[in-house]
Structure 1
Amino acid sequence: MSKNIKGDIVFRVRAMFLFMLLFAVGIVWKIFSLQVIDGEKWRKKANQTYVKERSVPAIRGNIYADDGSLLATSLPKYRLGFDPKVSLLNDKNLKIYEKGIDSLCILLSNYYGDKDAEDYRTMIATARDKKLSYILLNNDLVDYQTVKKMRRWPVFRYGKFKGGVVFEKVNVRYTPFGKMGYRTIGYKKDKEAVGIENSFNTQLAGVEGKGIFEKMSGGSWRPVDGGEEAIPVAGLDVHTTLNVNIQDVAESSLMKALQQYGAERGCVVVMEVATGEIKAMTNLTRTADMGYAETFNHAVLGKTDPGSVFKLPSMIAMMEEGDLDNKEWVQTGDGIFKIGSSTMEDSNVKHGGHGTITAQEVFEMSSNVGTMKLMLKYFGGKESRYYDYLKKFHLTEPLNFQLKPDVAPTIKQPSQWSKITLPWMSVGYETSITPLQMLTFYNAIANNGVWIQPIIVKQTKIVDDVQEDFKASQVKIDEPICSEKTLMKVRKMLEGVVERGTAKNIKNPLYKIAGKTGTSQKLIGGKYREGMYYTSFIGYFPADAPKYSCVVVIDNPRGVKKEALYAADVSAPVFKEIADKIYACDIQMHRLLDARKYDPRYFATQKHIAHTGDIKAICDEFGIEKQPQEEGWAVIKGDNGSLEFENQLNPKSKVPDLRGMTLRDALYLLENKGFRVNYKGAGKIISQSIPPGSLAVRNRVIGLTLE
């Protein structure tokens, strides 16, 4: 009996073990089948449809110019998708599908042009047979106006739940002014991010939301209705200091010069003197197709030997250290200066040099030899003092400018100097510094010696509510970088450069420009290359009441004559063109008019001649009852609030009295009498070269002066 029980137990254990073994083998086989035999099928199925939580991007903030003009914004665009399963839900949807699908495919083919109608028909039918709930019809983005048109197409006109149309919204960055300020305003694409878009990405980006999405065929995702878990928070608006008009002027002027000289690259920065606000920043680089595009921010990142523009901090250091006077004599000799095995020359060495000239003329003529000799006199044996001045001038540390990355200037410590470092550095060699850093220093001279950190973004806002005011954290050093006496002397030097010196070609009668030309040989492969130049002009205007400072850099211009590639001929004219256009548009910079001369009461007492037809039209417009009685020309006189008209004779064979006439009326009279007319000035005619009453002779030249 016991043996039977024991045998029964052993049998059951073995049966159970065999069952467990078979069960385990079955599980292993199922796993193998799922992963290997049917793995591809199930992976495709999983890829085609599953649900997960995904982030929902926030609407990116806008970027504005100083006057509120929109520089960058996000616009909604749409991708067109379709749900083929909708037509299988009921007979009504099926009827909509069958009636309109052919016409719909024709419209899709005509609009996108990538497939014919039959290809679209096949694509949709295949997805419908597979019972897919979503397919992407085309990856191209369309605007909202196009969406409105598409919603009137067959099938689509019945909407999402009957027609199956799906418009996937995508926010796309848009710049209303096109490529203007492209590198400065910036962009974020692929792995590259630059400019304001990059440096202020945290503020612009906002806060992402969370939502439930369904993964569809082709790897696209579709939000599940009602599946939003956290609503995204829109980004802040960034308000810049950029001026659209000045930016446009800077870009067009720089582009024209680069094309003229076939230069490699160039940049322009315009800054408001009192505030440090950047009003324009443009950077252009020659491309492979010999065009120009904004591919690198040379103004902020382009360090190089600054050349003769660095003579300004050298002169100020000497004035502060040893009271250098503008009238101090310097022997420049034949324009050649040797220190050890190194030689420096003046630009006019072929003409015998400048000889003995004043310190003022050393600066005006940009004499390397004169500057070096003065530096050795004032700082020879105490080189560290010169470095201390450069440090005081904020030329040895980075600007901490808002556009990132920020680069530090390269100015060697005195312990690293050789015998030639002091003189060579004084004329802009053996240093490496950006155009923006040099402009900031010049701006301090224009700003009565007060150094102010440049700024390109003033505030971030939500509508009108200021979130962060960057002006509040802008660095401004109230203590001037030099004495008032030095400031007066060095301003005289800067004005002299344009009045009599290397930039006298940009002098104009309307307003004064102060500045300095800079031409340095390019350092390539550790050697300075003859005939390859880095040219610049830095200055401010109007010189007697500075409002704007500006730097213009044109790198490696090309031409027939080496002398035609210096800053005076290449960069300085660009500065003037920009300054002229800014001046013309800024009425506040114009000289005050003679108050008496343009007083209406004074104007009314002056002699004016006009045609009676014009006089009557004006009187009718202003309701003046008294009008000239005779036809022809009349003299208008006004006194004590009343008008008087006197007939003006115009004999056919005589020269008329033109004084008091407008140029238009005078030309009408004189050309009818056969005269050729020269004139100068603007306003009313105050004198004529042939006296009134003289015999009128055809083809005779008469000169008119207007004021």
Structure 2
Amino acid sequence: MKEEPSRIKSDILLRVRVLYVLFIAAGAIVFARLVWVQMFSGEVAYNARRLAGRIFTEVTVPAQRGSILARSGDPLAASIFRYQVAFDFASPGLDSLKTYREQSDSLAKLLAAFFKDRPASEYRKFFREEHARRYRLVRPRDTLYARSEGWFARLTDRMRGEEFIRHKVYDTLRDHTPVEIFPRDVDYSEWETLKTYPLLNWNMGVVYRLVETAERIYPQGELARRTIGKKGDQGNYGIEDSYHAELSGRDGKAKRQRIARGFYGRVAGEHVEPEDGFDVVTTLDIELQDAADKALRRQLKEQGAEWGTTIVMETRTGEILALANLGRTSEGTYAERENYALSRSMEPGSTFKLASMLLLLDDAGMPVTTTYDVNDGRPVTVGHADDVCDSHRGDHVIGFRRAVAASSNVYFAQAIWDRYGATGKKQQYSDYLHNRLGLGQTVGLERLGERPPMITTDWKVPDPGVMLVKMAYGYRVQMAPIQMITFYNAIANGGRMISPVLVRELRRGDRVEERFATQTLRRSVCTDRTLQEVRRCLQAVCTDGTAKAFFGDTTRLKVAAKTGTAQITDARRLSDRYYLGSMVAFFPADNPRYTVLTTIETKARPGKAYYGGPLAGPVVKRLVDYIYNRGSGRSLQAAASGPRRYPQEVKGGDIAEIRHVAERLSPHVTSDVRNGWGRPRVDSLATVRIRSFGGERTRVPDVRGMGLKDALFLLENCGLSVRFSGQGAVVTQSIAPGTLLGNYKTIEIRLQ
């Protein structure tokens, strides 16, 4: 008889099979879920991104802003780093209480002596309170934790001299909030001292982070502030704003990992280094800028004027050496409130008569012998304009030269009307101003806020005849001071009108990245014959005209100038009689090197000046004297053969002698040593950099660039017989430098 399977065994097998099926099903579900999460679900990627975002962050590494420099290389605006220490009082490095107290007590004494803001006891109290606040400190006998440690733990604590022990907590429960410990930010030199103090020198581990901030400083104070400018909450103007992109550079990027609250460490990986901004080198001469500021400020105070601007320009290069802009503040003082030289486009008055002079002589061909009756200063009618008069008496029938010297409105009004108004050539008049003289266009400083001039070309206006007569002596036209000095500088520069230059170049370290050259606006504003006549007339203004009181003495220096006065025709201010007084001068008159302009706006008051001569003349006079005396007259007599006023080359030779000569010719001289032989190089900032080189008696020295005396000394000391030709500095030598002397007995050098 066949034995039947046991019911119990069958039941067990069934259960096992069911379990197998369940395990396989569960595994399949888990596997399917894994496949789904890994391949199709975005949950993992989302969580990973959130986790990585909390641990790893990408930060911007700011580039250092470039400096704004004077022509000598002295800083006008610069960025410096300030430092602050943010302590992590919950750092594990401070767990040793005894050591921490010893170190913090020493640090408290040193900080109190360094900052002198509070006693050491307050620093000590501050350190202990901040440290205790970030830990839970308890007495051993008051805690279960202390008793659970047993007698051995208490004995070791006493042996270490610790009154308290720390309650065991996780680091994530500690308060790692950074706490600043300095009463103020410190500069680099201060930080170099402070980082040697206890705790700050990492003697207890990484317990703080150093916070760096960049601060923009202006070493020259308010000098040329509107020109240098600012960028930020206090305003955006000047070079700081106009060249913001160049100064800012390019920020970098870095990846950092979170270590604790407020503390991060930089990790290796992809990062972009910051590229610091360019240094902007201006054409400003600090000493001359200071002289212009003082002269203008003094005159504004004496006259109680509203505002004034003074510009000093180098004639042949167009470089602006000084640009002062001062306006009255609400407190009654004067400060650089606005760049008046570029932004104030106003009726210039008689300084515009230079355009009338060129029109009459060059375009209309009027002889200089032409005379007009100016009616002894009494009002006359010219064309359609009534009440045209001069500001002085004593002249009746005068010629062209006298009219310029005396600044006669009547003469120029009649002469212009007869040749352009009565003959219907008004359009020819304005075309000459725009096309030949270029007075209707800006001069190239739009980036810095230059306002365009306003000189009409449309004569379909009410009373065009009145407009023409008024324009003849500087009304119904508007020009900014920078445009006026550019116009006069063209006469000083042999008729060639060039754009003024305020920014010379962009630099990165010693390397010039971009140089801004002078642009020629007009190759010639008039014929040579007209140019010479106009120069003689402007010189007569100083010898026998409206500027005689300032430059009548020609025994020392000849100056050519023109004064101008315009009553401001703003309807809101007519009742107060405001005037704009100006003077433009260039000198020496026979070989101009500098052009100077001063424009001042003032209100007519008893006992105060408002005509151009007495109002602006004292400022121009002081600057002319300053420039002349600064160079003892030498710089004004030497011919200007190049675009720079410093030597482009200096001969090599004995370093002590090079320094002796270079320090008289250049504002900055640097060398690695003071003795021996050297070779100088002059950079675009007028700095003479001397590099030393050693001499080996067994090799032929490099004497290129040296004078004959030094070259002979070096070569003959090596036992060589020297033949030379030419004069100047050595340009070639027949034996290559560094060659072993061997059998060489003779060397030939050529000087040039």
1:81 lines up with 2:86 in the alignment: yes
Show the counterpart of 1:52: 57
Show the counterpart of 1:542: 588
Cα 1:407–1:565 shift into 2, 3 Å: closer
Show the counterpart of 1:406: 450
Separation in structure 2 between the aligned mates of residue 169 and residue 64 of structure 1, nearest angstrom: 24
Query: What whole-Å deviation, never above 9, does each CA across 1:629-676 have from its counterpart, x for those lacking one?
Result: xxxxxxxxxxxxxxxxxxxxxxxxxxxxxxxxxxxxxxxxxxxxxxxx
Cα offset, 1:557, TM superposition = 5.6
Cα offset, 1:271, TM superposition = 0.8
Query: What whole-Å deviation, never above 9, does each CA across 1:440-496 have from its counterpart, x for those lacking one?
Result: 00000001110101111222122333221211xx32146311111111111111111
Cα 1:262–1:245 shift into 2, 3 Å: same
1:305-344 matched pairs, under 5 angstroms: 305-335=347-377, 336-338=379-381, 342-344=386-388
1:346-425 matched pairs, under 5 angstroms: 346-348=390-392, 351=393, 354-380=395-421, 381-391=424-434, 392-401=436-445, 403-417=447-461, 418=463, 419-425=465-471
Residue pair 2:431, 2:457 contacting (<8 A) in 1 also: no
Residue pair 2:89, 2:130 contacting (<8 A) in 1 also: no
Q: 2:102 aligns with which of 99, 102, 105?
A: 99
One-letter code aligned to 1:175? Y
Show the counterpart of 1:33: none
1:618-657 matched pairs, under 5 angstroms: none
Cα 1:133–1:119 shift into 2, 3 Å: closer
Q: Which deviates more from structure 2 when the two are superposed, residues 132-141 or residues 371-380?
A: 132-141
Residue pair 2:289, 2:324 contacting (<8 A) in 1 also: yes
For the residue of structure 2 that corresponds to 1:415, the secondary structure is: coil
Query: What whole-Å deviation, never above 9, does each CA across 1:395-422 have from its counterpart, x for those lacking one?
Result: 1012221642332112222335433111
Residue pair 1:268, 1:282 contacting (<8 A) in 2 also: yes
Show the counterpart of 1:268: 310
Q: 2:617 aligns with which of 553, 563, 572?
A: 572
1:551 lines up with 2:597 in the alignment: yes
Show the counterpart of 1:248: 290
Separation in structure 2 between the aligned mates of residue 50 and residue 427 of structure 1, nearest angstrom: 75
One-letter code aligned to 1:576? K
Q: 1:71 aligns with which of 63, 66, 76?
A: 76
Show the counterpart of 2:322: 280
Q: Which deviates more from structure 2 when the two are superposed, residues 384-393 or residues 404-413?
A: 404-413
One-letter code aligned to 2:185? L
Separation in structure 2 between the aligned mates of residue 529 and residue 90 of structure 1, nearest angstrom: 77
Q: Which deviates more from structure 2 when the two are superposed, residues 132-141 or residues 492-501?
A: 132-141
Separation in structure 2 between the aligned mates of residue 497 and residue 456 of structure 1, nearest angstrom: 29
Separation in structure 2 between the aligned mates of residue 96 and residue 416 of structure 1, nearest angstrom: 92
Residue pair 2:467, 2:476 contacting (<8 A) in 1 also: yes
1:179 lines up with 2:227 in the alignment: no
Cα offset, 1:578, TM superposition = 0.2
One-letter code aligned to 1:196? I
Cα offset, 1:107, TM superposition = 6.1
Cα offset, 1:439, TM superposition = 0.4
Separation in structure 1 between the aligned mates of residue 127 and residue 331 of structure 2, nearest angstrom: 39
Cα offset, 1:108, TM superposition = 5.6
Cα offset, 1:95, TM superposition = 3.5
Cα 1:56–1:523 shift into 2, 3 Å: farther
Cα offset, 1:127, TM superposition = 5.3
1:581 lines up with 2:623 in the alignment: no
For the residue of structure 1 that corresponds to 2:590, the secondary structure is: coil
One-letter code aligned to 1:179? E
Show the counterpart of 1:458: 504
1:208 lines up with 2:244 in the alignment: no
Show the counterpart of 2:683: none
Cα offset, 1:113, TM superposition = 4.0
One-letter code aligned to 2:612? A
For the residue of structure 1 that corresponds to 2:193, the secondary structure is: helix
Cα 1:128–1:278 shift into 2, 3 Å: farther
Query: What whole-Å deviation, never above 9, does each CA across 1:585-606 have from its counterpart, x for those lacking one?
Result: 23434558xxxxxxxxxxxxxx
1:131 lines up with 2:175 in the alignment: yes
Cα 1:298–1:99 shift into 2, 3 Å: same
Q: 1:487 aligns with which of 522, 526, 531?
A: 531
Flag structure 1 segments of 5+ consecutive residues without an equivalent: 1-45, 593-707
Cα offset, 1:152, TM superposition = 4.1
Cα offset, 1:55, TM superposition = 1.7
Residue pair 2:83, 2:186 contacting (<8 A) in 1 also: yes
Residue pair 2:77, 2:219 contacting (<8 A) in 1 also: yes
Residue pair 1:64, 1:70 contacting (<8 A) in 2 also: yes
TM-score, normalised relative to structure 2? 0.66
Aligned length: 534
Q: Which deviates more from structure 2 when the two are superposed, residues 100-109 or residues 442-451?
A: 100-109
One-letter code aligned to 1:547? R
Query: What whole-Å deviation, never above 9, does each CA across 1:74-103 have from its counterpart, x for those lacking one?
Result: 2222123212222x45633x4443334456
For the residue of structure 1 that corresponds to 2:558, the secondary structure is: coil
Query: What whole-Å deviation, never above 9, does each CA across 1:212-260 have from its counterpart, x for those lacking one?
Result: 468999xx97663336822111122222222222212211111111121
Residue pair 1:308, 1:517 contacting (<8 A) in 2 also: yes
1:429-448 matched pairs, under 5 angstroms: 429-448=475-494
Query: What whole-Å deviation, never above 9, does each CA across 1:532-559 have from its counterpart, x for those lacking one?
Result: 2111111201111000111111221665
Cα 1:438–1:272 shift into 2, 3 Å: same
Cα 1:223–1:368 shift into 2, 3 Å: farther
For the residue of structure 1 that corresponds to 2:580, the secondary structure is: strand
Cα offset, 1:516, TM superposition = 0.7
For the residue of structure 2 that corresponds to 1:192, the secondary structure is: coil
Flag structure 2 segments of 5+ consecutive residues without an equivalent: 1-50, 137-173, 639-752
Separation in structure 2 between the aligned mates of residue 510 and residue 146 of structure 1, nearest angstrom: 52
Q: 2:559 aligns with which of 497, 513, 517?
A: 513
Cα 1:306–1:227 shift into 2, 3 Å: farther
One-letter code aligned to 2:74? S
For the residue of structure 1 that corresponds to 2:265, the secondary structure is: strand
Residue pair 2:178, 2:262 contacting (<8 A) in 1 also: no
Cα offset, 1:194, TM superposition = 2.0
Cα offset, 1:560, TM superposition = 2.4
Cα offset, 1:184, TM superposition = 1.4
1:466-477 matched pairs, under 5 angstroms: 466-471=512-517, 474-477=518-521
Q: 1:298 aligns with which of 304, 329, 340?
A: 340
Separation in structure 1 between the aligned mates of residue 357 and residue 343 of structure 2, nearest angstrom: 26
Separation in structure 1 between the aligned mates of residue 441 and residue 237 of structure 2, nearest angstrom: 23
One-letter code aligned to 1:176? P
TM-score, normalised relative to structure 1? 0.70
Cα 1:106–1:276 shift into 2, 3 Å: same
Separation in structure 1 between the aligned mates of residue 56 and residue 478 of structure 2, nearest angstrom: 56
Separation in structure 2 between the aligned mates of residue 216 and residue 439 of structure 1, nearest angstrom: 62
1:110-121 matched pairs, under 5 angstroms: 111=115, 113=117, 117=123, 118=125
Residue pair 2:56, 2:255 contacting (<8 A) in 1 also: yes
